[in-house]
Structure 1
Amino acid sequence: MPATEAFRPRPVNVALAVGFALAGCLAGAFYHPAPWRPFDLWAYLLTLLIALSLALRENRPFGVLVITAAGFAGYLLLGYQPSLNFWVPAVAFISVAAREGRGRIVCGTALLSAVIALSGVCGRLPWPVVPVQALIVPAVAFTVGLTQRRLAERNAELRRLTALLDQQQRQEARRAVLDERFRIARELHDTISQHMTIVTLQAGLAEYVFFTDPPSARKALGTAAAAGRESLEELRRLLVVLRTYDLGGASGPEHPADPVPDDLLADIDRIPALAERLEAAGLHVEVRFAGERRPLHPGIELCAYRVVQEALTNVVKHSGSATAEVAVRYLDDELRVAVLDHGGPLSATSTAGSGHGLIGMRERAKIWHGSLTAGTRPEGGFQVQLSLPLGQDRNGG
């Protein structure tokens, strides 16, 4: 704390100090009981010194107690009436009890008891009253100071907890923003990757056979155009979903009772159509379903579809295999999806697709408390396996 702030008193303490000073000076000016010494210049100066030092009682509590006690003791020893300035050291000791350590509190208690006892002696009180007064005044002042200390500690703890809560809320807000960014990144990657792969392959094929085989070139360009249009349609659906619905399942649409429209989210039933589109890229995909097929939560259906989409896109981009298999099994409490290729000339590089795509697949599985494994097969090729528990399914049959 800067030195200027350390000696800058609070307005309430200044008002208290001025009040004690005015009260003491006015009482001394108009009240002259015998046999006490008349209130002269020294009495005014000591009263001002004792009272005005209270302005710094929170900044330097023990020092203020020493000044007030010493000033009151000098005031008494000079023979002035002891009823004035009596409570100022007690008020100073309240701040000591509220702010200082145990050692200074003990010293302050002794100091206040001594000056109160001196006041009783100088005031010619009966001898039993002197020790009782010397004990009661410090005890009351200590109780008030201890109450202030506990209140200050509770307020400090409340401020600390408030700051901690504010920090946690900011962290949660940042985490929510990051989660939303990751979710949008997953959706954009999964939506665009497959279609752009088809567009790129077919455009390259059309360029290669443009003069030698015009019909094949036209067919390839038509396939690329269809993939581009479908990519735009997927992006349209994605934008509607991101603006309106929570794909993570934490909350539903604006009205939780309203279901997510079926035409907005990709689902498991669209996997065969996905396989047909990949035929144009030269990949034959065999799709098999097992178990009792039933509607699941749209988020689970989307997760399964996107994992299959990304896995097949990696087969086209990295495996070089001409065939792939997709197996979807509906169990009582679990959905299992497997995508495998049989390897090809580029099968050794099939793991090249394990960057953002594999991260996104695992993130999707984690959202729905599932698991995803990916790796090479002993007999050759690559395999992706997804397991999603259905206990959380809210739309299941």
Structure 2
Amino acid sequence: MNLHCVDCHSAYPPELLYRCANCGGILETVGDDGLMPVSLGEQVTPLLRARRIEASLPGFVGEVWLKDETRNPSGSFKDRLVSAAMARALSLGVGRVVCASSGNAGAATAAYAARAGIPAVIIVPAHTPLGKVTQIAAYGATLLLVEGHYSRSYDLALALAEQHGFANLTTTFINPYAVAGLTAVGREIAGQLGGAPDHVLIPTGSGPLVKGVWQGLIEQGQTTRLVAVQAEGCAPIVRAFEAGDDIVTAWGTPQTIASGISDPLIGYERDGTYTLRLIRESGGSAVAVSDAELRTAMAQLASSEGIYAEPTGASPIAALPKLLATGTLARDAKVICLITGHGFKDAKVYQDMPAHTHTVADPDNILAVAQLCDHVLCHA
């Protein structure tokens, strides 16, 4: 295995390098590293047909499939990146790791560090959802809360890695070994579906999952149209795509409930530019969804398909009606939605939604309870 710059094509040995020394470009792995990942019992995640969601889309006669990444050990697709990056760090003799995160990568890093028996420092924005902070702390990691947007946490993690010997497991494009761990998603899709779908809808911050899906499908001799889904309150890649720009510029302060994709890319805009390039090479697109649309999608995904997803994880479902309305998705398209994070990561969003709860004054009055149930079900 070697490292290769996606911009100037410089080559490097497989060491802990985070950017090309010649041009500052993104590094990617070339070849198989032969390492066994640090494991918490990962398995292929399910691919589930979403027939009720299909039926809710006016005029749609295609297929919607859900790639359920909530089944990963710590509840998100970030486990795939971290298990691969952790294995490389350990092979190079690094005894401590750091990760800047909006929550899910931090939980994954803390979990896999606990499994590997090494210390971890996790740096998250101070406003990170309580469910994610609680999970990180439970694994015993040192948790640092930083005021402001995610990019401030990113800068601190990079400084600790470069100046104090931590392996940086931040899951943007900064760690090429982590990104390589995501190619399995594309390979699994091809194997489970028996080929490639017409589109894959991907919740997108900086975009390594876009790269993983694309590369994994290519390795199986397949291609698809990649669709980057972002939140309206933090959509630097969508903004560039819609403007016809080739360069992604940083966003301001994010304003969205989708913490997993609230990445303004301040200081590492090249990540967004590379993701935009991959989207265009695939013939795909980028779309932004509102917080209201995210809440609707979360409720629909849980109540109609039995999948409990955080706002980021439900974002592809929120995007489906928009993409159909604009003709981006054909009415007979075969579509995969990546459901990237579990609902326990941000349960408060669900807690703030209306719930079908009813107080039972006399649980011994079975007839009255049955009548109540019949009334509720008839008006559901």
Q: How would you bin the TM-score normalised by the shorter chain?
A: under 0.3
Larger relative CO (CA 8 A, sep 6+): 1 or 2?
A: 2
Q: TM-score, normalised by structure 2?
A: 0.23
How high is the TM-score relative to the length of structure 1?
A: 0.22
Report which of the two has the higher share of helix. Answer: 1
